[in-house]
Structure 1
Amino acid sequence: MSDSGFTDFVKAIRPDMRRQAYLLCGDWYEADDLVQQTLIKVLLRWQGLDRRDELAGYTRTVLVRTFISDHRAPRWSREFPYDRLPEPDPEHGAQEGVADRLLLLDALARLTLRQRAAIVLLYWEHLSANEAADILDCSVSTVRSQAFRALARLRSILRAETLPAGSRLTGSDGSDMTDE
C-alpha cells in the first residue's frame, strides 16, 4: 500500500487527535488506543479519499464515531473507571488551573457519551451545531438538546463539588463553563 502523504498527515494531525480523544475518554492510554483505531480506519480508506483538504474533519468524524461505537455496549474486557483522574500528560508540562481542569474532566466523565461528544465538539473544538450534527450523525436539534442537557448536568456536578476560592472553569476559548 502506497503512503502518498499519509505519514505526513498523521504527523500533523496526531497531537490534536490525541487531545480530542483524551477529552472524550478521560484517559491518555485509552485516547492513544482510540487514535490508533481511528488512524487504521483512515489508512484503510486512504487511497479512496479524494478531498484531501477535508481530511481533518473526516478524521475527527471517524474518531468521535469510533469512540461512541466502542463505548455504546459494555464489554467484559473493558477496564473499569477509577475514582480519580490520572495525572496530566507530562508531555504538555504543568499548566495553570490543573485542579480546575481535572475537576471539569471528572465532571465530563459523568455525562453520557453523546452529551460528552457534543460538549467537546461545540466548546473545545469550536464547531457549529451543524458540523457537530454531521459528525454525530444526528439532527442539529439533537446536538443542541444534548449540549443543553450536558451543560445543565455539568453545572449541577460542579456546584456540588467544592471549587477552590476564585476558581473559574474555562473552555479552551476562555469562556466560563460555570456561568448559567
Structure 2
Amino acid sequence: MNRLDEAHEERFARYVVGARPALRRKAFVLVGDWFAADDLVQQTLITVYRNWERLERHDALSAYTRTVMVRIFVDERRRHRWTRELLQGSLPEPEPATEEMTRVGDRMILLKALSTLSARQRSLVYLRYWEDLSIEEVARIMDCSAATVRSSTSRALRILRERIGVLSTPRRED
C-alpha cells in the first residue's frame, strides 16, 4: 500500500467513526430493526468505500451517503419482496403503563405503522419529514419527478394516518 492509499484509508476510517452513529439511527427509521439497520449501514459504507477515491469532497458526504443508503434500502426491498415480515395483531410487549412512557408508546405506534409502508413510501416519508428535504431534493435522490414525490408522499401519509388510528385505538377485551 502506498502513501496515497494509506491517506485514503485513514480519511475513510475517520469518516466512518464520525458518521456511523447517525447513519445507524437513520437506517433504523427506514428498516425498523436495529440489526437490519446495522446491515444497511454496512452495505452503505461498503458502497461509499468503493467510490471513496473518486469522491471529490470528503468533508461533505452526508447527502451522498444518505442517497446511497436510501437507494440500497429500496433496491433491497424490491429484490426481496417475498421475504417481508408478516405483521401480527398485537405487540409481544405490554403497552407502556406510565404517563412518562407515553412518548415511547407513540414512537412504537409510529414505527409499527411505518413498517407497513412499502420501501419506496417509507423512504419518501423518511427523506421528506425525517431529513426535512425539499420535494426537489427527494425527487433527485429517488430518481423520479417532483409530482411523483408529492402524490406518493400524500398517499403514504394517508395510509399512515389510517394505520396509526387503528394501532392507537385501545382494544377492549370482552
TM-score (norm 2): 0.81
Q: 1:75 to 1:162 in 2, by over 3 A?
A: closer
Paired residues, number: 157
Q: Measure how far apart 1:52 and its partner are.
A: 2.4
Q: What is the identity, as a one-letter code, of the residue corresponding to 1:70? A: E
Q: What is the identity, as a one-letter code, of the residue corresponding to 2:32? A: G
Superposed CA deviations along residues 39-68 of structure 1, whole A, max 9, x for unmatched, are 001001101100224311000000000000
Q: Which structure 2 residues correspond to residues 108-147 of structure 1 after superposition, within 5 A?
A: 108-147=114-153
The answer on whether the counterparts of 1:22 and 1:31 sit within 8 Å (CA) in structure 2 is yes
Superposed CA deviations along residues 74-120 of structure 1, whole A, max 9, x for unmatched, are 267x5735636798xxxxxx976111101001100111111110101
Which residue in 2 is equivalent to 1:5? 11
Consecutive unaligned residues of structure 1, counting only runs of 5 or more, are 88-93, 165-180
Q: Which entry has the higher C-alpha Rg, 1 or 2? A: 2
Q: Which residue of 27, 47, 58 maps to 1:41? A: 47
Give every structure 1 segment of 4 or more consecutive aligned residues whose post-TM-superposition deviation is greater than 6 Å: 84-87
Q: What is the identity, as a one-letter code, of the residue corresponding to 1:38? A: T
Q: Which structure 2 residues correspond to residues 85-96 of structure 1 after superposition, within 5 A?
A: none
The answer on whether the counterparts of 1:24 and 1:120 sit within 8 Å (CA) in structure 2 is yes
RMSD: 2.3
Paired with 2:33 and 2:91, the residues of 1 have a C-alpha distance of 8
TM-score (norm 1): 0.78
Identity %, equivalent residues = 47
Paired with 1:121 and 1:63, the residues of 2 have a C-alpha distance of 11
The answer on whether the counterparts of 2:135 and 2:146 sit within 8 Å (CA) in structure 1 is yes
Q: 1:96 to 1:157 in 2, by over 3 A?
A: closer
- Richer in helix (by share): 2
Decide which moves more: 60-69 or 136-145.
136-145
